[in-house]
Amino acid sequence: MKKIHLFLILLTAILMQSCTFDDVVVGKISGINVISASKEALDIEVNIPVKNPNNMGFTISKVNIDLAINGIEFGKVSQTRSVRVKPNSDEVYPILFQIRFKETFQGLPKLLSAVMLGKKVDIKAQGYIKARKFIFSKKFEIDEKTPVNLFNKLKLPL
């Protein structure tokens, strides 16, 4: 009986040593496709490069992010389906999101004028992304603010 306990303790120690997890690198968005749009929501597909140097894949199971543009609340971003990130991979993953607009988005005229004039807008994302593998999950807090030049190649006909 003592040998079994000693074996289990030794096995657990060995398994815990092999559970190192390297950081996953998320690159810059390589493309955005609008799937559908309505008064209530915008469904988009975002192509995001992810480099996973680990021998274990994982699933991005939940996204919950509040989005603000130029300091004005724009809406809530959620994921419409889970995405599986492969082990030892460096790939671009298409992730489907839905942006549910706030009922009163009063900054629309300001946003449209900034887009038409080619000015940068400040996009702030705050919330979390949840990743999981089997019964284990980890929540990654997001608090990013980035100036973005939306539609920088937009040309108006004269």
Assess if residue 130 is contained within a domain: yes
Assess if residue 11 is contained within a domain: no
Assess if residue 157 is contained within a domain: no
Is 154 a residue whose pLDDT tops 70?
no
Q: What is the mean pLDDT of residues 67-93?
A: 82
Sign of the Cα pseudo-torsion (66, 34, 60, 56, in order)? negative
CATH code where residue 31 lies = 2.60.40.10
Summarize pLDDT for 63-76 with one digit per residue, the tens: 888 878 777 777 78
Q: What is the mean pLDDT of residues 35-42?
A: 78
Mean pLDDT of the chain: 74
Annotate 6-64 with three-state secondary structure. Answer: HHHHHHHHHHHHCCCCCCCEECCCCEEEEEEECCCEEEEEEEEEEEECCCCCEEEEEEE
* pLDDT the model gives residue 158: 43
Domain that holds residue 82: 20-148
Q: What is the mean pLDDT of residues 29-54?
A: 79
Closest residue by Cα to residue 22 from 56, 62, 68: 56
Please, which pLDDT band fits residue 6 given cuts at 50, 70 and 90?
A: low
**Quick check: 59 and 86 in contact, CB under 8 A?**
no
H or E element, residue 135:
none
Assess if residue 8 is contained within a domain: no
Q: What is the mean pLDDT of residues 106-126?
A: 69
Closest residue by Cα to residue 50 from 112, 156, 129, 134: 129
Find all residues with CB under 8 Å of 146, minimum gap 6, and list them: 122, 123, 124
Assess if residue 68 is contained within a domain: yes
Assess if residue 10 is contained within a domain: no
Number of domains in the chain: 1
Residues in the chain: 158
Q: What is the mean pLDDT of residues 27-43?
A: 76
